[in-house]
Amino acid sequence: MTEPAAAHTAAHVRYVLRLGDTSLILGQRLGEWIGHGPALEEDLGLANLALDFIGQARLLLTYAGELEGRGRDEDALAFLREAPEYANLTLVEQPNGDFACTIVRQWLVDSWQLQLYQALAGSADARLAAIAEKALKETRYHYRFSSGWLVRLGDGTEESRRRTQQALEELWRFTGELFAPDAIDAQMHAAGIAPELAGLRPAWSEAIDADLRAAGLARPADPSYRWQGKQGVHTEELSHLLAEMQHLPRAYPGARW
């Protein structure tokens, strides 16, 4: 492979990994709710969301492994990488906290994915476009779930409003990363594979404001510090999550059901 072609492939792999890792880590976090939901319906709802995210992660990680061409499959990528090799958004690795905290995190991610997958469905990369088209159908009902709960919690009791506003203040600092492009985003945009990331922000911001108004919640000030999860710089939370998620395949390499 020529040098520019190799660099393009490396950026392409990295771009798909970022999407796949974000889905995988959020799916793992949501799975932690199973058996702990505030009501049976919400427990099932969160488990269903977890399943969708893990399914999307499988499609994306399988594709990243094929693009990379070094023989790594979805399992090798999920279970045999360390935290600095993970390229997920910092937001999704944050702990579940209470139900309000999980809902705020989910709503921030769902509203971001809604914009991103709509744009990616028109990608020049046919495989990525197909994955996005499929995922978009699921993202729509994820967003219905999370934004619906955001409104009910924000417009609910004094206690639910207080907790939801607190979760918003806590998690808002991770949103700077959602639409901040770096060299890989720019390269993928130039190749027609990815949308212009910053260009998706106004529509996202508008939807966020509309939901916050309906919920009676206040939008926090934009953060001055930008987290860099997709560049592999994570909070300590990710290592704890990976320790649990990767324990079995690392303790029993190659084990099968």
Partner 1 sequence: MGALPETQDLAAQRIWALLAEVPDPEIPVLSITDLGIVRHVRADASGALVVGLTPTYSGCPATEAIRAAVRDALDAHGFGAVRIEEVLSPAWSSAWLSARGRGRLREFGIAPPEAAVTSPRQLRPAPLPACPRCGSRDSERLSEFGSTPCKAHYRCNACREPFDYFKCI
Member of 97, 148, 156, 176 binding partner 1 (CB under 8 A): 148
Determine the interface stretch with partner 1 among 38-46, 79-87, 158-166, 242-250 (rule: CB under 8 A).
38-46
**139 sits near partner 1 (criterion: CB under 8 A):** yes
Q: Shortest Cβ distance from residue 223 to partner 1 (Å)?
A: 26
- Residue 124 found at the interface with partner 1 (CB under 8 A): no
**Contact between 13 and partner 1 per CB under 8 A:** no
Region of 47-55, 64-72, 170-178, 179-187 interacting with partner 1 (CB under 8 A): 47-55
Q: What is the largest CA-CA distance in the chain?
A: 62
CB of 5 to partner 1, least distance (A): 25
CB-nearer residue toward partner 1: 103 or 184: 103
Task: Name residues whose C-beta falls within 8 Å of residue 252's C-beta, 6 or more positions apart in sequence.
Answer: none
Alpha-carbon gap, residue 154 to 160, rounded angstroms: 6
Q: Could you write out the three-class secondary structure of the chain?
A: CCHHHHHHHHHHHHHHHHHHHHHHHHHHHHHCCCCCCCCHHHHHHHHHHHHHHHHHHHHHHHHHHHHHCCCCCHHHHHHCCCHHHCCCCHHHHCCCCCHHHHHHHHHHHHHHHHHHHHHHCCCCCHHHHHHHHHHHHHHHHHHHHHHHHHHHHHCCCHHHHHHHHHHHHHHHHHHHHCCCCCHHHHHHHHCCCCCCHHHHHHHHHHHHHHHHHHHCCCCCCCCCCCCCHHHCCCCCHHHHHHHHHHHHHHHCCCCCC
Question: Which region, judged by CB under 8 A, interacts with partner 1, from 74-82, 134-142, 220-228, 245-253?
Answer: 134-142
Structure tokens at 57: 């992660």
Which one of 131, 212, 238, 241 is in contact with partner 1 (CB under 8 A)? Answer: 131
Q: Which of 22, 102, 123, 147 binds partner 1 (CB under 8 A)?
A: 147
**∠ CA 203-47-216, rounded to 5°:** 40
Between residues 43 and 68, which has the closer beta carbon with respect to partner 1?
43
Q: Does 135 bind partner 1 (CB under 8 A)?
A: yes
Smallest gap from Cβ 128 to partner 1, in A, equals 10
**Residue 138 binds partner 1, judged by CB under 8 A:** yes
- Residue list 149-168, contact with partner 1 (CB under 8 A): 150-151
Indicate which single residue of 54, 76, 180, 186 sits in contact with partner 1 (rule: CB under 8 A). Answer: 54
Which is closer to partner 1, CB of 36 or CB of 144? 144
Residues at the contact surface with partner 1, assessed by CB under 8 A:
27, 41-42, 44-45, 47-48, 51-56, 58-59, 114, 126-127, 129-131, 133-141, 143-145, 147-148, 150-151, 211, 214
